[in-house]
Structure 1
Amino acid sequence: MNSRAIRPSGAQLDHLLKLPSSLRTRAYAAAARTATTNSCSIPPPWRPANVLDEWVTREARPISLRQLTVFGRTLTESRLLGSANYVRLELPTRIAHRLRNMQTLPYAALTNPHISHVYELYYSAFELLRKVPEVRNLNDNDKLCDAIKICLKEHLTVIPRLAMGILEIQDSVTSEECDRFMTTLLRSRISRRVIAEQHLALTETFHAPWHFPDAPKPPGAPEDDFVGEIFLKCNAKEIIDKCANTARQLAAKGYGPNVAIPKVIVQGHLNSTFPYIPSHLEYMIGELLRNSISAVVEKHYTDINTPPPPIQILICEAAQHVIIRVSDQGGGIDPSILPYLWSFAKGPRRDTRLQNLGRVPRLAATMQELQQYDHPLPERAGSGERFASSLATLSSRPPDLRLGIGLPMSKIYAEYWAGSLALHSLEGYGCDAFLQISRLGNRNEVLSTRAAMDSL
């Protein structure tokens, strides 16, 4: 049977479109699960989606860190309600674009259980958010926040499920198309979580009694340098030290007490600060350090009494950027892997990556499971942890759980705020990674436009 040729009859299509959206989605999902074994002519859940048409005609309205900061700096009720109505329209618009992305995939790819799972999550969130009425008062805003929290929690499994789906659909979609698809969906996912978590944080701040100008602050209240999830004076040295301690602890636990873990030495402009979302930077630095520590340990496998060569980090502050160089002596990258360094879909070890990714969704299921490696979530983590962040799961995994998505995901995070990530490998010696961050916060988020989406 040619799966691409499957189409519903006119009567079947009319019947399906008359179902309530929740029933229709389940009916499509059931069809998708049985399509590969039965001669069912009902299409998967992403075919008839006329309700998306109105939303897909809208373009996303990009924002910058500076805009978010200025808007949230002096928080009033009218500003909070303005933020709510921006989020109320922006989230379903951006989700609708990604649903249309998935509708352009071949039928055989859409029946993949992981892609189908993500589609159903997105469609459910779209249906929930598009029906939220205009926010006119604080009670309306609280209802919107409840809907946002539901979506954030339900979407914890999106990253690993997407990564597994991409690895499994390459019989019907080329690796290059898979990488473009994955990049587009992840970039959009970052954007949605940024505006959703920023609004939740602003709401949390507004309801706190200490946020008014003359009100005394209790011990433990967030610093004035936080505006929602944005830390105005994000210090690169402090983030690096925090990530280094976490990465070294994970490595020590993973490799055992008799293996020496390399030290991390930080030099350069140690007082450099810039506005950023700390958890984004923590994730990128954390991935680079995890890779470097593992490479050094495995190349210089020595006992605890013989220290391996340290990892050198240099912070360089320029007029518009901060550049962080991470240098190790871990032997460089395997030549068989190097050409596929930034790819989600290409490269060796596909079966191992699938097996390891299969362990991540269970870790991301609940907040209790996020802490299974004895790394409790921080009080003020910057982004997401307070609102259920899958980054916490990815960052706290043991060193043997290699997913093959850390570097390409880090590159997407770096480029999202108009930064960059590059890596140079010296075979037999080590690697230098260069992470560039915009220190002015005035660059808009990098989004996929409708034109780019339609070209996929």
Structure 2
Amino acid sequence: MLLQSRNHVASIRLTRFCHRYAAGQTIFQSWQHQAAPSSGPQLRFSHSHSHSHSHKWRPVSVLDDWVAKEARPISLRQLMVFGRALTESRLITSANYVRTELPTRIAHRIRDMQQLPYVVVTNKNINEVYDLYYDAFDAFRKVKEIKTLEDNDRFCKTINKMLQAHLSVIPKLGRGILECGGLMDPKELDKFMNTILRSRISRRVIAEQHLALTETFHAPWFSPGAKLSDTEFIGEVFLKCVAKDVVERCGKTITEIARHAYGPHVKLPNIKIEGHHEATFPYILSHLEYIIGELLRNSVQAVVEKRQRDVAKGLAKETDPVPDIEVTLCESPQHVIIRVSDQGGGIPRDVMPYLWSFSKGPHSKKLLQNLGQVPQMAATIEELRVNQEKVDRSYGNSLATLSKRPPNLRLGMGLPLSRVYAEYWAGSLALHSLEGYGVDVFLQISKLGNKNEQLTTRATMDAV
């Protein structure tokens, strides 16, 4: 009976997949007819290209088996408690959690991509992301149970390899979404993009956390079972992020970037910090630095460029003072709120409808050109540093500087990606723009670290 039931489910999935495939071909053919000039040659799809990856697109039972599993969300508190008194047994338990969780989470995103319209999945960039995901899924699902430290060391090498390979995922997805802007409802594209990026963050969190715990366990100073102090990292989790310190550090980096971009003689705004200077909370430091860095970067650029426009129009003088960027820290029993306020003129009206979207409408062409200059992107503030300094980590985690992104290159992904990061740990990011004056951005962070990661645990469009 069980076998018959499984066969019946597989048959239903295959039938629905074939229907979607056929429907996709119809959409693609319709699009070809509309896009091609009436008197010119017809656009043709290369079947040899699709067939070269056909083994990865079949709804095979092994993928169905993993999609049938639920992802198991975790919280920052769980990561802290688990890693605080690290032993060999705990390290191996962590390895086996990651060993089963990574292919489960990847499988659901593969299924999401399989359910996209055919014309979208044939996009070169989306197809390359799909191949990266399938290769990672295939590698992780074959890892046998971790029983020894030697097994774990081999497993960590596999994780290292995949983390490095997947640094190209964000720019490839960004380009793919912009290129497919007219082929799918922008809201559905954004839903897909938010889901896949949140899942990417989740996988990197558990993978990097395990690598960091392994690194700690092998460190010459570490004594197994000894409790780490409250001022240290537990893996990638910084137990006491001091909001003021993070803002100051990010502000210094952004000021260096702006000085490099605009030249030594351009006046830059001061970053003034007010409110609860002692506000602390546990967090993944690289996530927070990315969000704060993007917000400050946007504000500094807006203020400097508004000043340049005003001087050109005779509305201001070069000698006039530059308005400060004000950062207000507010601590409550449950949350820490960070407000960034500037007088950079606000968000242009034609940009507002696309502010939180990854598909940028009429602005897509320029952003596509810019994304073409960014082959890899870890989405951290570290990769924005002017001197491209390296962080001494071998596994290319979120703190690695692997991007060649110029300091003033706009990609159109900073705000939507920052919101994905903020919402991942049950926080929020909101923006209020006063056109002609400036912007207020509010970042809310859960102070206690007891909220589970917010991720889509199942394929959003699962066939059955």
Structure 2-normalised TM-score?
0.83
Find the counterpart in structure 2 of residue 259 from structure 1.
266
Superimposed CA distance per residue, residues 194-242 of structure 1 (whole angstroms, 9 cap, x where no aligned partner): 0000000000001112121799x9xxxx985210000001111111111
Find the counterpart in structure 2 of residue 247 from structure 1.
254
Counterpart check, 1:377 vs 2:363 = no
Identity of aligned residues (%): 58
Q: Alpha-carbon deviation of 1:4?
A: 3.0
For 1:354 and 1:172, the matched residues in 2 are separated by 16
Specify the SS of the correspondent of 1:450. Answer: coil
Contact 1:87 1:199 in 2 (8 A): yes
Count the aligned residue pairs. Answer: 415
Specify the SS of the correspondent of 1:361. Answer: coil
Q: Alpha-carbon deviation of 1:176?
A: 1.0
Matches within 5 A, 1:304-383: 306-361=320-375, 373-378=386-391
Q: Alpha-carbon deviation of 1:190?
A: 0.2
Specify the SS of the correspondent of 1:89. Answer: helix
Closer/same/farther in 2, CA of residues 376 and 306 from structure 1, 3 Å limit = farther
Counterpart check, 1:59 vs 2:70 = yes
For 1:147 and 1:37, the matched residues in 2 are separated by 33
Residue in structure 1 matching 2:451, options 435, 443, 449: 443
Find the counterpart in structure 2 of residue 428 from structure 1.
436
Counterpart check, 1:5 vs 2:12 = no
Read off the aligned partner of 2:435 and give its amino acid letter. E
Specify the SS of the correspondent of 1:454. Answer: coil
Residue in structure 2 matching 1:86, options 84, 97, 100: 97
Residue in structure 2 matching 1:48, options 58, 61, 69: 58
Counterpart check, 1:144 vs 2:155 = yes
Matches within 5 A, 1:14-413: 36-37=45-46, 42=51, 44-45=53-54, 46-50=56-60, 51-212=62-223, 225-301=232-308, 306-361=320-375, 373-378=386-391, 387-389=395-397, 397-413=405-421
Of residues 191-200 and 293-302 in structure 1, the stretch that sits farther from structure 2 once superposed is: 293-302
Structure 1-normalised TM-score?
0.85
For 1:230 and 1:326, the matched residues in 2 are separated by 24
Specify the SS of the correspondent of 1:153. Answer: helix
Q: Alpha-carbon deviation of 1:71?
A: 0.4
Specify the SS of the correspondent of 2:261. Answer: helix
Specify the SS of the correspondent of 1:210. Answer: coil
Segments of structure 2 that go 5 or more residues without pairing to the other structure are: 1-21, 27-42, 312-316
Read off the aligned partner of 1:129 and give its amino acid letter. F
For 1:106 and 1:435, the matched residues in 2 are separated by 35
Please give the root-mean-square deviation of Cα atoms over the aligned residues, in Å.
Answer: 2.8
For 2:173 and 2:49, the matched residues in 1 are separated by 25
Q: Which has the higher contact order (CA 8 A, sep 6+)?
A: 2
Closer/same/farther in 2, CA of residues 440 and 372 from structure 1, 3 Å limit = closer
Q: Alpha-carbon deviation of 1:376?
A: 1.0
Read off the aligned partner of 2:449 and give its amino acid letter. G
For 2:230 and 2:406, the matched residues in 1 are separated by 32
Specify the SS of the correspondent of 1:348. Answer: helix
Segments of structure 1 that go 5 or more residues without pairing to the other structure are: 7-33, 380-384
Q: Alpha-carbon deviation of 1:373?
A: 3.3
Of residues 401-410 and 337-346 in structure 1, the stretch that sits farther from structure 2 once superposed is: 337-346
Closer/same/farther in 2, CA of residues 283 and 354 from structure 1, 3 Å limit = same
Closer/same/farther in 2, CA of residues 356 and 40 from structure 1, 3 Å limit = closer
Q: Alpha-carbon deviation of 1:387?
A: 2.9
